[in-house]
């Protein structure tokens, strides 16, 4: 089964995959629906995050990569409806992102901010951005 992931510098030596830090785990999102992946990438771009490309890859390959890297692969199914605050981050990126300066150079992020959105203000912001896409 093909899934859609967000890649940076796809096909280059500096290629990277978009991930989230959730509950102490690094999570790689696999989107079943390419439109969901496109929307997520658009929300990242709106936050001045580097713009990822959407790549269709075999789900099993991504899951193997994640296991080897110590990441968690999480499938965002078509028609996914979030039930928790954490689930909402699978549809819209958090408003607080890690500093990705120098990610191409394999440097550690320079900011200790984690990618969690817990306040109602942040959730309201996510809702407004999602509604703006519709």
- Under the phi-then-psi rule, with left for phi > 0, alpha for psi from -120 to 50, and beta for the rest, what region is 48? left
pLDDT in tens, 16-57: 999 988 888 899 999 999 999 999 999 888 888 888 999 999
Domain range summary for the chain, segments of one domain joined by +: 2-104+111-133
CA gyration radius for the chain?
Answer: 14
pLDDT above 90 as % of the chain: 42
CA separation for the pair 38, 83 (Å, rounded): 22
For the entire predicted model, the pTM comes to 0.67
Handedness of CA 127, 101, 75, 4 (dihedral sign): positive
Distances (CA, A) of 62 to 28, 51, 55, 66, 91: 9, 20, 11, 6, 19
pLDDT in tens, 110-130: 333 333 334 556 666 666 766
pLDDT above 70 as % of the chain: 71
Q: Quote the pLDDT of residue 61.
A: 95
CA separation for the pair 106, 119 (Å, rounded): 31
What is the average per-residue pLDDT within 75-81?
89
């Amino acid at each position: 089964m093909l899934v859609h992931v967000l890649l940076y510098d796809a096909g280059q030596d500096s290629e990277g995959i978009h991930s989230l830090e959730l509950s102490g785990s690094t999570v790689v999102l696999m989107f079943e629906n390419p439109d969901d992946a496109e929307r997520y990438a658009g929300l990242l771009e709106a936050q001045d995050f580097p713009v990822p490309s959407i790549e269709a890859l075999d789900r099993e390959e991504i899951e193997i990569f994640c296991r080897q890297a110590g990441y968690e692969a999480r499938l965002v199914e078509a028609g996914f409806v979030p039930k928790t605050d954490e689930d909402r981050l699978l549809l819209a990126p958090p408003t607080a992102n890690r500093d990705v300066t120098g990610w191409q150079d394999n440097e550690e992020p320079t900011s200790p901010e984690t990618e969690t959105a817990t306040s109602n203000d942040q959730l309201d912001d996510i809702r407004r951005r999602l509604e703006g896409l519709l």
